[in-house]
Amino acid sequence: MYRYLLFYKPYNVLSQFSDRDASKINHEGSSVLPTERGTLKDYIQVPSVYPVGRLDRDSEGLLLLTNNGRLQHRLSDRRFRHPRTYWVQVERIPDEAALNQLRSGVVVQDYLTRPALVQLLPEAPSLPPRQPPIRFRKTVPTAWLEITLTEGRNRQVRRMTAAVGLPTLRLVRIAIAHLRLDSLAPGEWRDLTSEELEPLLRL
């Protein structure tokens, strides 16, 4: 039987069920030290489900997990342009020129990002506090953006905001297509409702 789960991934948790790099060598190269990184196994005990796409360890928010391989491929492939929406806290207050750059596409490494939906939020969104908190600098104001992408390249949001002079401080994915984070707290998961599942199965 297919399972479809929504999970609120906390900060410092890997988007996988095991830490393939669970140890590291100290600077002398003489001993092995454990890392302190959570994995999905710490929160989800459902067998044989895997995340659709990923969130970086230092990002938070919505993950969809399933054992339906066909759907997993369809939603992960950039060619199908499924939207993903993020709330992004950045250093400094963006002007309209920076917002328009993000909207029209910026050059990141060796590619031009697709046009994105970008708006400056009038106030900080209601989110659980992050542990540990972001760094705070009294002399540098921050702002929150809502960014919707139709591609999911590695660390794309962070690279986009950095390219226009707005380093990302906190990144929370709040939606994948029509699926929303709303009812979950960090570390919680639930099965999709039949109403949420129906549009996915039509893919």
Supply the residues annotated as catalytic: 56
Spatial contact of 110 and 135, defined as CB atoms under 8 Å apart: no
**What is the gyration radius of the CA atoms in the chain, in angstroms?**
18
Residues 95, 75: Cα–Cα separation, whole Å: 33
Alpha carbons 163 and 169: distance in angstroms, whole number: 14
Q: Which residues contact 18 (CB under 8 A, 6 or more apart)?
A: 39, 41
* Residue 63 neighbours by CB under 8 Å, 6+ apart: 6, 7, 8, 9, 15, 40, 51, 52, 53, 54, 55, 173
Of the candidates 139, 102, 138, 140, the residue with the CA atom closest to the CA atom of residue 120: 102
